[in-house]
A and B are shown apart, each in its own frame.
Chain A
Amino acid sequence: QSALTQPASVSGSPGQSITISCTGTSSDVGSYSLVSWYLQHPGKAPKLMIYEVTKRPSGVSIRFSGSKSGNTASLTISGLQAEDEADYYCSSYAGTSTLVFGGGTKLTVL
């Protein structure tokens, strides 16, 4: 159970698009279409943004989208807004009823 690899930080200007990568292995991301993404504002509980690679829960903006290729999953946020500034975490099912998170990415909206 090694943590998934995410960039420590990304940044973008309002209105731009950014992509956060999440790299795992053939034992987790590469084997299952079960990647999820969470947003966490400081001092708050995480919020589910994407599940099962591409699905958006009710109420999540269509500006958020997910994809996967091989052992790497990605979260794309289009039309960046100030409120998107937060920490983002990916997670993947890793078999035998276990999950693994990424180390987190701090998104800064310039």
Chain B
Amino acid sequence: EVQLVESGGGLVQPGRSLRLSCAASGFTFDDYTMHWVRQAPGKGLEWVSGISWNSVSIGYADSVKGRFTISRDNAKNSLYLQMNSLRDEDTALYYCAKGEYSYMDVWGQGTTVTVSS
């Protein structure tokens, strides 16, 4: 069974950092592009970042560029999102998703990040 399990969310003060992880199983991890997508409470989906299978192609939403860094460890079947200089508006449920560079076909259940003083 294809499974994505996010972790690392929590309550953090503005300006601080947090690292999210996503553990993948049930598929050949290094065959696929991986994405982070977030959803603020009561709001719509926002694509955050994506990384190709070999980490060569990486993209970020303008709202996080320069603050967030996506990475992956294919040996560990894991995806990461390093989030620095966190802002109130980064508060959201963060989903890890598997797919191709233009879509996501399997999603995790998400991990919640709350930025508040």
In the complex, residue of chain A having the shortest beta-carbon distance to the beta carbon of B57: A97
In the complex, residue of chain A having the shortest beta-carbon distance to the beta carbon of B59: A97
Quick one: which of A34, A103, A104 contacts B102, CB cutoff 8 A?
A: A34
Within 8 A of B (CB), among A66-110: 87, 89, 91-93, 96-104
Interface string of A8-35 (1 = CB under 8 A from B): 0000000000000000000000001010
On chain A, the residues within 8 Å of B102 by CB distance are 32, 34, 36, 51-52, 92-93, 99
Q: Does any Cβ of A come within 8 Å of B31's Cβ? A: no
In the complex, residue of chain B having the shortest beta-carbon distance to the beta carbon of A47: B107
Interface string of B78-117 (1 = CB under 8 A from A): 0000000000000000010001111111011110000000
Knowing A1-B62, A45-B95, A46-B95 touch, does A101 contact B105 (C-beta < 8 A)? no
Quick one: which of A38, A93, A103 contacts B101, CB cutoff 8 A?
A: A93
Q: Does any Cβ of A come within 8 Å of B45's Cβ? A: yes
List 14 A-B pairs, Cβ < 8 Å.
A1-B61, A38-B45, A48-B104, A91-B47, A96-B59, A97-B52, A97-B57, A97-B101, A98-B47, A98-B50, A98-B60, A99-B50, A101-B37, A103-B44
